[in-house]
Amino acid sequence: MRVLFVCLGNICRSPMAEAIFRDLVKREQLEDKIQVDSCGTGSWHLGETPHSGTKNILDQQGVPYDGMISRLLEEEDYKQFDYMVAMDQNNFTALQRSNNHDETVIVKLMEFVENIEDEDIPDPYYTGDFDQTYQLVSEGCHGLLQFLKEKHYLD
């Protein structure tokens, strides 16, 4: 199973989600069953490593992000990924608009968090609040992994 996290520039939220989810998958010893990647819908930061705020919070939490480089969403991604996970409504809409493959499931990460106030994860590139973003992304990733384990009988 392949999971792709998507945000605007692929330097803050989606690489954070990729790193957290990859770490959770490793801890659950599911690396042979779940592959993880991230990308952006905008091309401003192509080829860049994650934002320093993302790196700092991941370092504080002990979550590795080695080798992550920003890339742009491609048509081929719809054929290669089972799940595309958007960080907010704008990314969700962009993914749906480009989707020509019925087998790709497009969701928002906050769909996997109970008792949420907002369905979008605020972009820390603009808010500067990487702690809040980490908290929301972490909760979403835990919920997503639980969902995938139950839906696809992964142990």
Catalytic site residue from 7, 12, 39, 141: 7
d(CA 6, CA 29): 24
Q: Considering 12, 13, 39, 141, which one is annotated as catalytic?
A: 13
13 as an active site residue: the answer is yes
Q: Pick the catalytic residue: 23, 77, 120, 123? A: 123
- 123 in catalytic set: yes
Burial class from Cβ neighbours inside 10 Å (0-12, 13-18, 19+) for residue 2 reads middle
Q: What would the DSSP string read from start to end of 128-145? A: --HHHHHHHHHHHHHHHH
**Rounded CA separation 148/24 (Å):** 12
Scanning the chain, the segments in alpha helix (DSSP H) are 13-27, 52-61, 77-80, 89-98, 124-127, 130-151
Give the residue numbers annotated as catalytic, written as ranges.
Answer: 7, 13, 123
